[in-house]
Amino acid sequence: LSGGKPKRPNVIKSLCLLLGPDFCTDIITIETADHARLQLQLSYNWHFEIVDKSDKKDAAKLFSVPDFVGDACKAIASRVRGAVAGVQFDDFHKNSARIIRTSVFGLDENQKVRNRFEFPANNLVITSIDIQSVEPVDQRTRDALQKSVQLAIEITTNSQEASARHEAERLEQEAKGRLERQKIMDEAEAERARKELLE
């Protein structure tokens, strides 16, 4: 069976085939539409689904694929690479989980992401994908991503500062307005009192 990260053939020698549920982890390199190369570490939950354990033909399907781990990881990696190749880096950065899950599981008739990916040749079922890490491969992309994150933090900070300053100025204007109104009302009251005193 394939093993290691990234998956390499003939790493695991096994005498038995466990039905799962279990998981495997793989590292794949992808490239976005704007040529940003990223390394993804993905973990897949899987199990073999046997409907009728007494059916020998159904049970024999388990052994029909010699390296089910390698085949599953290659199929998933191919789907992910295909989906990501048509997406810009910024879009992938914001929606990576949705893009990856949609590419692997597909959409149902209601445009919702399915909850399983089946391999009918050996009844293997992938039930979930966990995106453990997304890292740029080349230094230029890594620097651009770091700059983008710093810029986003700076923009958010400046926005919050401007909002706080605007709120403080508004409160100060309201206070000045109330003070002016009170001053005018006091002067009017004093003028009225003076008038009454003169009469």
Sheet strands (E) in the chain: 22-31, 37-48, 117-119, 124-136
Residue 136 has pLDDT above 70, yes or no: yes
The C-alpha atoms of residue 147 and residue 31 are separated, in whole angstroms, by 20
Mean pLDDT value of segment 12-38 = 86
Mean pLDDT value of segment 141-148 = 78
Reported pTM: 0.67
3-state secondary structure of 43: strand
The C-alpha atoms of residue 144 and residue 139 are separated, in whole angstroms, by 9
Which residue would you say has higher pLDDT here, 102 or 198? 102
The C-alpha atoms of residue 29 and residue 67 are separated, in whole angstroms, by 21
Structural contact between residues 59 and 53, judged by C-beta atoms closer than 8 angstroms? yes
Mean pLDDT value of segment 108-134 = 91
The C-alpha atoms of residue 181 and residue 187 are separated, in whole angstroms, by 10
Taking the chain, what is the end-to-end CA distance rounded to the nearest angstrom? 110
Picking from 153, 100, 156, 158, the residue whose alpha carbon sits closest to that of residue 130 is: 100
Sheet strands (E) in 49-155: 117-119, 124-136
- Paired with 134 in beta bridges are 40
pLDDT of residue 132: 92
pLDDT of residue 20: 78
Sheet strands (E) in 58-180: 117-119, 124-136
Expressed in percent and rounded to 5, the helix, strand and coil fractions of the chain are 50, 20, 30
pLDDT of residue 15: 67
Percent of the chain having pLDDT more than 70? 99
Picking from 46, 8, 48, 12, the residue whose alpha carbon sits closest to that of residue 27 is: 8
pLDDT tens for 148-185 read 878 889 999 999 999 999 999 999 999 999 999 999 99
